[in-house]
Every structure is written in structure tokens, then in C-alpha cells.
Structure 1
Amino acid sequence: MKWQPKYTISNKLLLTIREIGESIGEIRAQHLTHTALSKLELNARELSSYASTSIEGNPLPLTDVKRLLKSRKETIRDTEREVLNYNKALQVLYQSVRNNRFKLTVKTLEKVQAQVVDGLMDNPSYCGALRQDPVIIRNPRKVDEIVFIPPDAKDVKQLTQLLMDFINQNIGKIEPVILAGIFHRQNVIIHPFIDGNGRTTRLLTTAILGNAGLDLFEIFSFEDYYNRNITRYFKAVGLEGDYYDLKDNIDFSTWLEYFSEGILDELRRIIKLLPEEPSTKPRIETHHQQILDYILEKGSITQREYGAISDRSLASRKLDFEKLTRLNLIRAKGVGRGTYYILASSK
């Protein structure tokens, strides 16, 4: 049995993914030092820890979160523990992806949720285990109003496993942004735990982005985009009604556009923090963009394929590939006549 999500790759989604690749290339072209990258990573963790817990109603402002993450307080409130748990889980996931040890499994999902809710739940059976009880999603402003009824507890394990299988089987086949976006929404819909679903989902979404090949995943905080308009986020990621009435017609297209917008928005924020070098910044010409567009559509390009769509000489075409490689926008794979080029952000 397989699970296959429904979605359409719209022109809007394609354009956003292309701009994500260009933005990552622009950041890479800065040749940031290890110190600079570490600073950006710290900033992203602070922002993610603040935004992701804020989405769930944590009242701590960003300034307090930054101060908390730098302190070594021995006595902490639940609101502070929630932030510290998220930050710790994020660091663990960063490390596992960097060391090629990250594996998306049900056990991984349970482990992350356990880290998220550590010390915050009265019932220990709800910590680090898929739910065995029914849940109902209510309107936070009108507690008597039921918004969504997730899948029955008896179906949670199978639905979760089918989602994991889909993600793992499509790494390298589907764009990382699309793959992570699909995981994000479907896991929220399944609602595999009694508590901690949103935070767990957002943490693993970051890990999937990195594991699937999205470069520099550690330095951006897509959660901040959601936190700026929580109502829009909940409306985009969730469903209204009974899961079993809706499951056959769930479409991820609009959500994927929104999800990719969030990543691009965050990358643009980072670019604004980078030093400006207008006099030394290399230009991307029309023929360079032609290569990038071709790779985005086809997945890769060879010298022969570039020659078929361009009237530039062989020597010029080689220089084009060399320039885009130097800018960390593309990278070569294969050897000799079997050489082809893919986006640097691809795995």
C-alpha cells in the first residue's frame, strides 16, 4: 500500500523554487567564513525557537528567548522549558543531518516529540509515543466550535508510516522544498500525538529540507514567516471537517506555494544581512539564466543539451558552466563525457 499526495506544480511554485535556488547561490557566492555562518545559524535557532513556540501560544518575546538561550538558569518556568526543549531538539537534528545520521522513521518522530514535550506533560504515556486516544481540534477563540477531527488513533501508525515511506522513497526525485512541504502538512493532518504536533512537525521539516539536499538549511527560520500571520498559517496547513470525509480530496498545491514563499521570504531576510559588494558581485547573464531554467525544468543539463538550446560557441559554453560553478549555483556530477550539471542546492 502506498500513499500518493495530490498536488500541481504551478508556475508560481516553479518560480519560487527557482528564486530559492538563486538566493542560496547568492548567499554561497559571499564565501562566508565559518564564524559568519555560525552566527547566522545561532540567529536562526533563536528565531526558530521563539517563533515555533510562539505559534503555539508561548508568550515569551524574542528578546527574552535570546537571553534565555544564553543563560544557564537552573529553575525555569514551563514557558522557558518549552523554548529550551525546541532549541535543544533543533541542535540535535542539525548535527544528525550534517553527519549523515538522520533517518526519517516513526521512532525518529517519537523521539523528537519526546524532546519537545519533555517535562511539560502530566501523563508520561503521551510523551514519545503515537497517540492511542482520539483528539479534536477546536477553535482557540471559540472552544465549543470543532474545527477538525483528525484520523482515528487506530489509523495513526499506518498513516504515519505511509508518509515516512513516501518521503524516504522520493529523496533525490522530488525537489526538497516540495518534499518537506508535503511532510509538513500531512503530519499536521495526521496529528500523531496528543500534544507537540506542530513543534515536532516544524522541527522535522527543517531536517528533511537539509537531508533532501537544500543547502544552508541551518541558517534560515521558516517558522518566523508563519508566526507573523498565525491565522493564515493555520488556515493553509490545516483542514476543516472530518478527516475521513476529506481525505480523498486533499490537495497540497496551494499549501506548497505558501510553504515555498516562507522559505524564500526568510532567505531574502538573510541576504539583507549580508555585506553589499556591488563592485565585485558577478553578473548573471541571460545565457546563464538559460542554464538554470533548463536544470530547474529537467533536473540536470549536459554540454550537449546546452549546445542544443544555445548558439554560443563550445568554448563560451564551457566558461558559462565554470562561472556558475564558481558562484555555487550549479555543480558537476559524473566524469568525462558523462559529466552533467545540477543545481548546487540539489542532493
Structure 2
Amino acid sequence: MLITFHPNYQITQSILEKLYKIDQIKEQVKDMPLTPHVLAGLKETSRIITTHYSTVIEGNRLTEREVREVLKGHAIQGWERDEKEVKGYFNALDEVAVLAKKHIVTETNIQTLHGLIIGKNIPTSYRTEQNSVVDAQTGTIVYMPPEAKDVGPLMTGLIEWINESTHTLPIPIVAAIAHYQFVTIHPYYDGNGRTARILTTLILHQGGYDLKGIYNLEEYYYQHLQDYYNALAVGPSHNYYIGRAEADITGWIEFFVSGMLYSFQSAQKHLQLQSAEKEQSKTINALDARQKQALVLFEKNEFITAKDVEELFHFAGRTARQLLQKWVRQSFVVIADPSKKARKYKLNKIPVFVEKIEQHKF
């Protein structure tokens, strides 16, 4: 029996504004030039960070540095369970990269991802008995999911809804609701949170919101962990059958798109910084020996004079002035004060100088 899924939410003005900014960044990053080598490095770093935070949310004890070591093949004695979780999630991210090339999500996709997450290489079946989410400190039931007999129909309904909604709703909204509904169904005894987050990644990547594979949402969740839990914990009761399915999840969607915007902005800033560093390195490499030495003068002062160049290189006054005139022609420096007695120079803008070098105009 197919259980129809009808999520209850509102697309507020705040959500719309965040979606607009997310799309802006997506288009801007799409056009940013990245060499294959740099892009591969950024993707790898993102996958490691994603793995670390998605597992640490569930209690994994490994630090980010230790996660890197484990993924290189190094063992951490006594922490085999943590190592297994990290390796499993990382392998599932590899599978996402393959599945993202397809246009639909299937139950087999989800079962395969869950299998990898818990350390198996085969699709896993849904639970056959009742489970519950329990507060680790108090032992009280935080959430009572649907009965096992309803899991299959609920998952079938969710998958059908995802594939239909990707044609009618913004992809981030589809991903947010899918995340919520998956943890609501809680189809497995273990690994539901990790699988929900990786399902989110799959939907976003399939829908063109991969951002070259260089961002992650999991770090934001970890940094706002209580808000993450609170946003997911909606409805009048902890019991699935008492209001959970009909609950208004606008607050969760707001939290989700806020995290997505933050993650996109962070990735964009990282790319911009890297681009600036690359440009700076390119410029410095293009300088001749004396120009590189002269940069020391500009570290302390915005403007320099011929006297400063004389002292730096132990030149005569005329030689210093001639060198500065050459630097002006090369666009290395520009005249800031044309006064003959106290002429001042400042460092030119980097792009102008690089363009001059590349065009051999000096």
C-alpha cells in the first residue's frame, strides 16, 4: 500500500531570500576557473570534513586529523568501531558521486548507501521491529517512529514524492523535506541520521547544487547541534502517529536553507581567498630581483621616495630615480605625488601589473 506523503510547510519570505542567494552563489562558483588538481584537492578535503562531522554528530570520537589518518590506511588501536564508521561514510560519499549522475532516487540507492554507511557492501533491508530514539542521559523516549509494518509503504511514498517534487519545487526544499521525512520514518535500527544527511547530499548533487563538490552541510549542523535537533523535533507528541506526520516543518526548512546558505558562502569565500593567493603568488613570481626586494618598503609604508630606494640598494640619487622611472613604465609603481622635490610612489594594483607582464609591454 502506498502511503501518500503531503508535507506541511510554508515558503516564507526569509526562505525565498536565502534560496535566491544560494542560487546566486551557485552560478558564480560555476564560472570560477579551477585547475583539475586544485579541484580534486578541494573535493577531497570537503569529503573528509563531511565524513568527520556527520559521524561525530552520532558520537564518533575521532578528530579530523585522525579521520585523515584512518582514510590513509592507518589504524588507531582500540577505536575500531569509530574507524569503521568513518570508512563506511567515506565509501558512501564515493557512491553518491556515482548516483548523482542519475536523475532519480530509488529505494535501492538508499539501501545501498545505508549498507555502506554501516560497513556492508550490499543494500540493507528496513527494520522489522519497533525502534525508538532514546535520550542517552535520561533514558527517556525522545521519539517513537512508525511501526515496522508501515516503514516500507512510507519509504515508497517518500521516494515517489522526491522524484515528482524535483520537477515542481526548488531542489533545496526537496532535500530539506526528504531529510526530515527520512528521520521521521526512521527505517533502520542504526545509521538513520547519517543516511538522512547523505540522502540530502545525493538530492542536492543530482539537482545541480553540488557546488563542484567543495561544500558540506554537516559542519554547520555540528556547530548548531541543539538547533539541528530542535528543528527536527516538531509535532505535539514524540509518537509518530500523534501529529508528527502532519506537523508544520517550516522551521526545519528555514534552518536547513540557512545552513545551506552558510555553507555555500563559506565555500565561495574559500575559493575567492585561494584565487587571491594564487594571483598574489603569480605576481610575485613575475617580479625581478630588485622589485621583490622593494616590496619590503611597502610592507611598512604606503608611499616611498627615491631616498628610500637609495638606502635600500645603496644607490646614488640619480640611479634610484632612474629605477623608479623604469618601474613606473612597467606599472610596478605609480606616482602618488608628482612634486619634483618630494615625489612619492605607491605600489600599483596587482592585476594591472600582471597584465603588463603577460603582454610584454615594458
> What letter corresponds to residue 12 of structure 1 in structure 2?
S
> 2:185 matched to which residue of 1?
190
> 1:96 matched to which residue of 2?
99
> What letter corresponds to residue 92 of structure 2 in structure 1?
A
Contact 1:150 1:190 in 2 (8 A): yes
> 1:41 matched to which residue of 2?
43
Contact 1:16 1:264 in 2 (8 A): yes
Name the SS of the counterpart of 1:83 in structure 2. helix
* Cα deviation, residue 206, structure 1: 0.3
> 2:230 matched to which residue of 1?
235
Note if 1:134 corresponds to 2:164. Answer: no
Name the SS of the counterpart of 1:178 in structure 2. helix
Number of aligned residues: 270
Equivalent in 5, 8, 11 of residue 6 of structure 1: 8
Partner Cα separation in structure 2 for residue 252 and residue 211 of structure 1: 23
Structure 1 residues 155 and 179: CA distance shift in structure 2, 3 A: same
Contact 1:52 1:199 in 2 (8 A): yes
Worse-matched range after superposition: 184-193 or 203-212: 203-212
Contact 2:19 2:257 in 1 (8 A): yes
Partner Cα separation in structure 2 for residue 237 and residue 12 of structure 1: 19
> 2:85 matched to which residue of 1?
82
TM-score scaled by length of structure 2? 0.70
The answer for unaligned runs of 5 or more in structure 1 is 279-347
Partner Cα separation in structure 2 for residue 15 and residue 107 of structure 1: 35
Contact 1:93 1:102 in 2 (8 A): no
Note if 1:109 corresponds to 2:110. Answer: yes
Name the SS of the counterpart of 2:194 in structure 1. helix
Partner Cα separation in structure 2 for residue 223 and residue 267 of structure 1: 12
Note if 1:274 corresponds to 2:276. Answer: no
Contact 1:137 1:147 in 2 (8 A): yes
Contact 1:69 1:84 in 2 (8 A): yes
Structure 1 residues 69 and 9: CA distance shift in structure 2, 3 A: same
Deviations 1:126-162 (A, max 9, x none): x81100010111112211x111111011100101110
Name the SS of the counterpart of 2:272 in structure 1. coil
The answer for unaligned runs of 5 or more in structure 2 is 277-362
Contact 2:30 2:212 in 1 (8 A): no
1:15-34 matches, within 5 Å, as 15-34=17-36
Partner Cα separation in structure 2 for residue 268 and residue 101 of structure 1: 27
Contact 2:95 2:113 in 1 (8 A): no
Name the SS of the counterpart of 1:88 in structure 2. helix
Name the SS of the counterpart of 1:142 in structure 2. coil
> What letter corresponds to residue 201 of structure 1 in structure 2?
A
Worse-matched range after superposition: 85-94 or 34-43: 34-43
Contact 1:210 1:217 in 2 (8 A): no
Partner Cα separation in structure 2 for residue 129 and residue 198 of structure 1: 16
* Cα deviation, residue 66, structure 1: 1.7
Contact 1:94 1:218 in 2 (8 A): no
* Cα deviation, residue 175, structure 1: 0.5
Contact 1:185 1:238 in 2 (8 A): no
Name the SS of the counterpart of 1:58 in structure 2. coil
TM-score scaled by length of structure 1? 0.73
Equivalent in 193, 196, 200 of residue 195 of structure 2: 200
> 1:162 matched to which residue of 2?
157
Structure 1 residues 248 and 82: CA distance shift in structure 2, 3 A: closer
Larger Rg: 2
> 1:180 matched to which residue of 2?
175
Partner Cα separation in structure 1 for residue 39 and residue 247 of structure 2: 39
Name the SS of the counterpart of 2:50 in structure 1. helix
Structure 1 residues 199 and 138: CA distance shift in structure 2, 3 A: same
Q: Identical aligned pairs, as a percentage?
A: 30
* Cα deviation, residue 9, structure 1: 0.5
> What letter corresponds to residue 93 of structure 2 in structure 1?
L
RMSD: 2.3
